A and B are shown apart, each in its own frame.
Chain A
Amino acid sequence: MENDGRRNFLGICLGGLATLAAAAVSFPVFRYLAPRSSKVTNGKVTILEKDMPEGEAKFFEFAGSSAVLVRKRGGELTALSAVCTHLGCIVQWEKDKQDFLCPCHAGRFTPEGVVISGPPPKALTKIPFVVTNGTITVG
């Protein structure tokens, strides 16, 4: 009788421990698979279309990093990360040449972010955007 009580108690304790262990393993897996919170995904930036004249670029903060929206001569819009793919400096828009220049090591990019010259190993990352009723929404 005494052993039965002890067994029950030890069994409950072990069951509790097993449940805790299962929860400790499942929670990180669930957190990894679950969709990101709206706090992370809703970091969209809106810019009025009328504020983007041809040949101009507008820099802004996007997802904790520097980004740029550029309207080429001809009207086409592109949104890009403004972080140079070489060592991480912020590129500058050269209005007269209509391209991006990294001030650190002279990496040069087209308005679409493609590398023209210099050490950057790859193109600037494109950022999706939509234009609705005269408003450009980036992200």
Chain B
Amino acid sequence: MGALLMIFRSRTGQSRIFKGVLSGLLLTVFLPILPSLALAQEQQEIVCIQCHSGLEEKYSQPVKLWRSSIHAVNGIACNACHGGDPKDMANAMNPARGFLGVPGEKDIPAFCGRCHVGVTKDYLSSAHGLALGKGGPTCVTCHGSHLVRKVSLELISEKYCTQCHNFERAKLIKDAMLETELLIVAIDGRIEGFKNQGTDTGKLEQSLFAVRNRFHTLFHDVDVEKVKKESTQINGELKKIDNVLQGLDDARRKRKIAGACAVAGALLAGLLFHLLRKTYA
């Protein structure tokens, strides 16, 4: 590489070309990762994380947990929930800058509900919500406060439900939801497969998100009959997405057949040309 540089440097005109080519190559290599570098930079700039990361366990643990959460994956940082000014160390926790701090137990549903409005409405009208402040669960009882993960049916488990009551009723709801959940997981996997192969799956992902969200809010009602009734409708919605995926599968299969025919045709044409040429020999 050094010898190569010497050769290029010996000729000023070529050196300029070399620099141009090198810049182009560097840009080609680094341009795709620039947005993620910018995002990393932006996250480092949030003073909440800078300060809390260096504090004792009680105050630094939320940062650690948040880093593995779905909120972090989607760029929802501390200030999105707790308010305050994430760019000004001195006023980061100033109530005048909208700092809310940690909500009291009764305020938790409203705290989360500023974004998750639909789920909060369902929760508040359920047995869980009606027991708010009287020993009933809040959002963080099941979802956690900082390590909030993408929800699956695994959340309805003895581990969580038996914190307050026995698992019998919850199991009934879980069983009623199982078939639809498996369908959602299977469709999600297929969409991911198409996405990895370069298919534009934006609309399908949106449709599945909407259906999954509607389905998961059902649990917040804690009503087995409602789960069963709505699951039938939701399965119909999932069937529509499944049909679109089936169409993509068919199109891909047809494309493969067409490709095989094109290759076979080209080989046959080559053979025929060869034989034709021989007739002139």
Binding site for B on A (CB under 8 A): 3, 6-7, 10-11, 13-14, 17-18, 20-21, 24, 64, 83-84, 87-90, 92, 101-106, 118
CB distance from B262 to the nearest CB of A (A): 7
Contact of A20 among B210, B265, B275, B279 (CB under 8 A): B265
Within 8 A of A (CB), among B114-161: 114-119, 121
Instruction: Assess whether A14 is in contact with B210, with CB atoms less than 8 Å apart.
Output: no
Interface residue tally on B, bucketed by range: 20 to 34
CB distance from A124 to the nearest CB of B (A): 13
Inter-chain contacts of A103 with B (CB < 8 A): 117-119, 121, 213, 217
A89 to B115, CA, bound (A): 13
Tell me whether chain A's interface is mostly helix, strand or loop, or mixed: mixed
| Chain B window 199-221, contacts with chain A (Cβ cutoff 8 Å), 1 for yes, 0 for no | 00001011101100110010000
Contact of B209 among A3, A20, A89 (CB under 8 A): A89
Binding site for A on B (CB under 8 A): 114-119, 121, 203, 205-207, 209-210, 213-214, 217, 240, 258, 261-262, 265, 268-269, 272-273, 275-276, 279
Instruction: Assess whether A105 is in contact with B279, with CB atoms less than 8 Å apart.
Output: no
Instruction: Assess whether B265 is in contact with A88, with CB atoms less than 8 Å apart.
Output: no
The answer to whether residues A64 and B240 also contact, given A3-B279, A20-B265 and a CB cut-off of 8 A, is yes
Instruction: Assess whether B272 is in contact with A88, with CB atoms less than 8 Å apart.
Output: no
A41 to B106, CA, bound (A): 52
Max chain B Cβ within 10 angstroms of own Cβ: one of A17, A18, A101: A17
Instruction: Assess whether A83 is in contact with B116, with CB atoms less than 8 Å apart.
Output: no
Inter-chain contacts of B275 with A (CB < 8 A): 6, 10
